[in-house]
Amino acid sequence: KIQCGQSSSQNCTYFESPGLEQSGTCRSQICKMDPNICQFRLDFERFVVAGPSTSTSQSLRILNGAVSSSSFAPFANTASQCLTDSFAVTNPGGPSPPVLCGTNSGEHS
């Protein structure tokens, strides 16, 4: 088992949160135990954090006092975005899975 700030290169590593007293960023590292490994599977036995935004309102993007003229739409919609809590996996040099939030118990990535 590992907790925040720890790392492991063992098969079947379990991450265990210390509980509700944990706040802020928590980082752990899972390393390949063999260079031939090309994929990790994350199974969530119990995973519950704040869910995504359900807001349907839009906000106008302002940059330096003017409506943003970037290649993105000038309106920002926060619906379905993880604004409070999130779980993210980084993969240096490769693609990363989408950011998760809400209830993901019994799921895998």
The two tokens of residue 14 are: 């379990």
- Per-residue buried b or exposed e for 30-49, using 16+ beta carbons within 10 Å of the residue's own CB: eeeeeeeeeeeeeebeebee
pLDDT band at 81 (very low <50, low <70, confident <90, very high): confident
pTM of the full predicted structure? 0.66
Pairwise pLDDT comparison (1 vs 21), residue with the higher score: 1
pLDDT band at 15 (very low <50, low <70, confident <90, very high): confident
Domain ranges of the chain: 1-41, 51-108
pLDDT score of 97: 86
pLDDT score of 70: 52
The two tokens of residue 34 are: 């063999």
CA distances, 58 to each of 30, 50, 69 (Å): 38, 21, 16
pLDDT band at 67 (very low <50, low <70, confident <90, very high): low
